[in-house]
Amino acid sequence: MKKFIITAIIVALSTIYSQAQQTKNLTHGYWVAESNKHNSKVQTIRFYNDDAKLVYEETVTRPVNVKRKRVQMMLNDICESLYRQKQAIEGNKLVTTAFNLER
């Protein structure tokens, strides 16, 4: 009887925790940062919608470290705001403004 109760508790707890691990992707679209190995100071950051269509593109002249979590979150926020606008943007410097890259 004791083994049955312990087994039931373990099964119940594993069921609860397995449901808690399911996450939903809350972001729409995605971004890609491209750089040239010969000129590492210039990067092109492109934002795409869910259908892989280019929504926005910007070339920045100072490197953006996309490996940092804070930078990724800021790029995700820009991507989300572009998704909410539902149209392509031209001529704005969203990334440059977000990261204070102007000098």
pLDDT of 52-70, one tens digit each? 888 889 888 888 888 889 9
- Residue with the two structure tokens 């590492």: 40
Residue-level pLDDT at 21: 42
List the domain range (segments joined by +) for residue 80.
Answer: 26-98
How many domains, in total, are found in the chain?
Answer: 1
Tell me which H or E stretch contains 90: none
The answer to the question of residue 75 being in a domain is: yes
pTM for the structure as a whole? 0.64
In the sheet that holds 54-60, the strands lie side by side as 30-35, 43-48, 54-60
pLDDT tens for each residue of 7-47: 888 877 666 655 444 455 556 789 999 988 888 788 899 98
